[in-house]
């Protein structure tokens, strides 16, 4: 196979890969800031060189391909210009995984910040977490507060290998990354709020033995009949849990922060347990 044919084959493979990735929930993160401008330019350069330097490629077809590529390049440049997205990443202490944050703002009487999230392991290919995008809007942001401050990016905390907790302008929020570990099926990140309500009710009714698993912690209700005392036993599951092994008195709802709280615990007064999603 000649160099010309090899060049066309490689160019075709690159374009097919880009199209396939575009049709999935994955994205090439290296292309997020410039869109498809770089691949389009690569196509134009390769086709131009082959068209004018290779006798086996017809110049007319090359000119047609270049003329079709030019409008695409102009459209991509315009889209990149008007979106003005910025990017930052929150690196995980649990290996190569990172959470990439895409953000922009829009101001018209009030400022609105838009955030999209991508899960990535090596910073090249990212999986979009579309159902967890955030929009934060206010007229009262302090002077000098930027998009990263509104999201609480600098104080982000990995509470498990699969969960990032953000102290945003509107309160604490959690971003759940897709699980790929073998323990994911036995250690769910969040509990169904109905199941959590059943667990809290069992504790109030002094029923021992009710269990639930949240963020790698296994919680179990306990009741001592002679003393009439009930409590929650918290198990860390060999370091996978967000909360150290200990005992807590009860679970309360903090409406202001929008969280279920483990309260009156052995090591500290309270812990954020799970974000309250229902109204």
pLDDT digits (tens, 9 = 90+) for 76-116: 777 666 667 899 999 988 777 899 999 998 887 788 999 99
Per-residue pLDDT of 149-159, as tens digits, reads 999 999 898 88
In percent, how much of the chain has pLDDT > 90?
34
Give 145's Cβ-side CA count (13 Å radius): 18
Q: Is the pLDDT of residue 180 over 60?
A: no
Task: For residues 35-63, give the mean pLDDT.
Answer: 75
Torsion region of 42: left, alpha or beta (phi above 0 gives left; psi -120 to 50 gives alpha): alpha
Task: For residues 250-277, give the mean pLDDT.
Answer: 89
DSSP-assigned beta bridge partners for residue 260: 253, 274
Q: Is the pLDDT of residue 186 over 50?
A: no
Per-residue confidence band for 1, with pLDDT thresholds at 50, 70 and 90: low
- Domain range annotation of the chain: 3-83, 86-176, 193-275
What phi and psi values does residue 139 have, to the nearest 5 degrees? -95, -10
Per-residue pLDDT of 197-228, as tens digits, reads 999 999 999 999 999 988 888 999 999 999 99
How far is it, in rounded angstroms, from Cα 251 to Cα 249?
Answer: 7
Task: For residues 7-23, give the mean pLDDT.
Answer: 87
pLDDT at 103: 94
Per the prediction, the chain carries an average pLDDT of 83
How far is it, in rounded angstroms, from Cα 190 to Cα 276?
Answer: 10
Contact 22, 39 (CB under 8 A): no
Element holding 272 (H helix, E strand): strand 270-275
Better-scored residue on pLDDT, 82 or 56: 82
**What order of strands is seen across the sheet that includes strand 163-168?**
157-160, 163-168, 171-176
How far is it, in rounded angstroms, from Cα 76 to Cα 196?
Answer: 48
Give 193's Cβ-side CA count (13 Å radius): 10
pLDDT at 22: 84
Q: 169 vs 103, 128, 160, 270, CA distance in Å?
A: 15, 23, 22, 21
In percent, how much of the chain has pLDDT > 70?
89
Query: How many CB atoms neighbour CB 41 within 10 A?
Result: 14
Which value, in Å, is the radius of gyration of the alpha carbons in the chain? 26
pLDDT at 45: 85
Q: Is the pLDDT of residue 47 over 50?
A: yes
């Amino acid at each position: 196979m000649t160099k010309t044919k090899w060049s066309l084959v490689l160019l075709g493979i690159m374009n097919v890969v880009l199209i396939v990735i575009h049709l999935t929930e994955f994205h090439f993160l290296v292309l997020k800031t410039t869109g498809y401008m770089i691949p389009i330019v690569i196509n134009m350069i390769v086709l131009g060189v082959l068209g004018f330097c290779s006798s086996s490629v017809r110049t007319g077809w090359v000119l047609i391909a270049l003329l079709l590529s030019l409008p695409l390049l102009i459209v991509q440049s315009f889209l990149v210009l008007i979106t003005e997205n910025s990017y930052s990443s929150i690196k995980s202490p649990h290996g190569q995984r990172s959470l990439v944050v895409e953000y922009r703002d829009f101001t018209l009487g009030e400022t609105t910040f838009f955030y999209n999230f991508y899960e990535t392991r090596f910073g090249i290919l990212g999986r979009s977490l579309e159902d967890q995008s955030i929009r934060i809007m206010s007229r009262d942001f302090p002077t000098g507060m930027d998009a990263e401050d509104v999201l609480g990016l600098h104080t982000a905390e990995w509470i498990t290998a699969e969960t990032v907790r953000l102290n945003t302008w509107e309160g604490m929020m959690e971003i759940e990354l897709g699980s790929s570990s073998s323990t994911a099926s036995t250690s769910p990140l969040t509990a169904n709020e109905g199941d959590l309500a059943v667990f809290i009710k069992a504790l109030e009714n002094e029923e021992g033995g009710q269990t639930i698993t949240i963020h790698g912690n296994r919680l179990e209700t306990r009741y001592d009949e002679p003393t009439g005392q009930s409590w929650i036993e918290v198990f860390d599951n060999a370091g996978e849990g967000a909360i150290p092994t200990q005992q807590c008195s009860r679970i309360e709802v903090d409406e202001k922060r929008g969280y279920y709280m483990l309260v009156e615990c052995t090591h500290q007064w309270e812990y954020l347990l799970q974000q309250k999603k229902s109204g």
